[in-house]
Amino acid sequence: MQPSSSAPGTFSRRTVLAGAAALAGTTATATAAVAAPAPRTEAVPTAAPASAADASGSGRPHAGAVVFRDVRLLGAEEATDLVVVDGRVVHGPAPRGAKVVEGGGRIALPSLVDAHIHPDKTTWGGSWVSRRPASGIADYVAQDVDLFHSQDRSVAERAYGLMAHAVTRGTRAMRAHADVAPAYGLAGVEGVAEARERLRHALDVQVVAFPQHGVVRTPGTAELLEEAARGGAVDMIGGIDPGGFDQAQDEQLDLVFGIADRHGTGVDIHLHDRDAQGLEALRGIIDRTRALSLRGKVTVSHVFCLPGLSDAELGSVAADLADLDIALTTVAPSESLVLPIARLREHGVRVGLGSDGVRDAWSPFGNADMLHRAHLLGRVTDVRLDRELVDCHEIAARGGADVMGLAHADLRPGSPADFVLVRGECLPQVVVDLPRRDLVVHGGVVVARDGEFIARDGRPGR
């Protein structure tokens, strides 16, 4: 979960993340000028993808053809027209009758991916919650439960509000962790799944059944994870610090990987444990991924045991991660706990960025804005060069897409037409200044304008 500052000696999210035991908490194409009808300000829903040849060769009208006129791809100096047919970027002139959306010289940038977020816990859009002091991990878990029962809005409504907000900030996809525990049953999973359905025109979502209260230490949790997987409500089964928090490393990992193997889901485990304990758990995850032939289906989140390793030590672990295509995610909580992203990617490890918890019982902070998270990544890693700032954006765009197994929305021909339009000078400046996302496009459809979400029926609002 995301850290917050606290007075000396106060137990907080930051101390959970940074403590010795680290208890668990929890692509660009230019197109020719286009002759088209009078400008329209709204794109239309799209159908199955069409090839570039179909789009530019026949001259027949195409449903789902849109021209985003006068945009600067990835911050290029010269503006051009971006042509989209049936949800994909295409090369060449637009089909006759294409709708037109005016870009006004704005920069077009790929939409971003939130690879790690907890929308079920949020109080976003509701009344202010005053948080109580916490003396340990058990207090946080208890406050999670209290907050859940105190809310007038359902998980589905709260999650929908936050996820729709994320869309207005340029998020194209997210991996959503939803708490599963006897205290809630599957309400978190069901609520997030309902929000996902309402947002399917605007956002791609993977749901993780996350055992925040532990798998072994909280009886009944394993059975709920099994039920969630068996019912097809989730894409992945989660876990949490099998040694440090659950204090049953082999038992937890066997349970989690067993459920995933039986039901064909992926695995995404929170690993806050540091030093030898964290590395031992990571080795256990690697061994089970290999034994069960789950290559490419496992993610480890946070992974605080990797920062600070020597090049030789990191290289040894990274070689196994790359060989088994185990992905990692970071929320860039601090300089000492952010993953060594560049070094890991040199070894071929997929690494994504996430926003973690947003205005929940753990912290009043968070905003589900992945451009802001890329900005924070730059801050905590003390970057200053343009290339470094571009890299921060890339980890939130391409990196997150890699973790979720999505095509890169890189504005190249054939790529998904998922992008944002912003006013700015260049990409590095956008990462620093965080301009408003004036237009958000998902699959060629305008899904947010001037910070307002556009629902499936085409009307603004949430």
DSSP track, 139-172: HHHHHHHHHHHH-SS-HHHHHHHHHHHHHHTTEE
Predicted confidence at residue 430, as pLDDT, reads 98
State the average pLDDT over residues 281-303: 98
State the average pLDDT over residues 378-382: 97
Find the range with the poorest average confidence among 58-67, 326-335, 354-363, 409-418: 58-67
Joined tokens for residue 223: 């059975």
Predicted confidence at residue 461, as pLDDT, reads 67
Task: Report which of residues 29 and 388 the model is more confident about.
Answer: 388
Planar angle of CA 364, 367, 370, nearest 5 degrees: 145
> 25: closest CA among 262, 360, 310?
360
| Alpha carbons 421 and 440: distance in angstroms, whole number | 7
Query: How many Cβ atoms sit within 10 Å of the Cβ of residue 119?
Result: 32
- The percent of residues above 90 in pLDDT, for the chain, comes to 82
Predicted confidence at residue 456, as pLDDT, reads 83
pLDDT at 233 over 70: yes
Work out the pLDDT band at 462, boundaries 50, 70, 90: low
Tens of pLDDT, residues 91-119: 988 888 999 999 999 999 999 999 999 99
pLDDT at 29 over 50: no
State the average pLDDT over residues 198-218: 97
Predicted confidence at residue 433, as pLDDT, reads 98
Predicted confidence at residue 10, as pLDDT, reads 35
Query: Is residue 318 within 8 Å of residue 326, measured between CB atoms?
Result: no
Task: Report which of residues 281 and 462 the model is more confident about.
Answer: 281
Task: Report which of residues 9 and 89 the model is more confident about.
Answer: 89
Provide the terminal-to-terminal Cα distance of the chain, rounded to the nearest Å. 26
Q: Which residue has the tokens 């329209």?
A: 40
State the average pLDDT over residues 295-310: 97
Predicted confidence at residue 30, as pLDDT, reads 33
pLDDT at 47 over 70: no
pLDDT at 11 over 60: no
Q: What is the mean pLDDT of the chain?
A: 88
State the average pLDDT over residues 377-392: 98
State the average pLDDT over residues 13-27: 39
Alpha-carbon dihedral sign for residues 426, 427, 428, 430: positive
pLDDT at 320 over 70: yes
> 206: closest CA among 225, 232, 227?
232
pLDDT at 184 over 50: yes
Q: What is the torsion angle, in degrees rounded to the nearest 10, for the CA atoms of residue 334, residue 340, residue 345 and residue 350?
A: -50
| Alpha carbons 315 and 317: distance in angstroms, whole number | 6
Work out the pLDDT band at 52, boundaries 50, 70, 90: very low
State the average pLDDT over residues 48-63: 38
Work out the pLDDT band at 139, boundaries 50, 70, 90: confident
> 339: closest CA among 424, 274, 404?
274
Work out the pLDDT band at 58, boundaries 50, 70, 90: very low
Task: Report which of residues 61 and 462 the model is more confident about.
Answer: 462
Work out the pLDDT band at 2, boundaries 50, 70, 90: very low
Work out the pLDDT band at 177, boundaries 50, 70, 90: very high
pLDDT at 40 over 70: no
- The percent of residues above 70 in pLDDT, for the chain, comes to 86
Work out the pLDDT band at 301, boundaries 50, 70, 90: very high
State the average pLDDT over residues 135-161: 92
State the average pLDDT over residues 116-124: 98
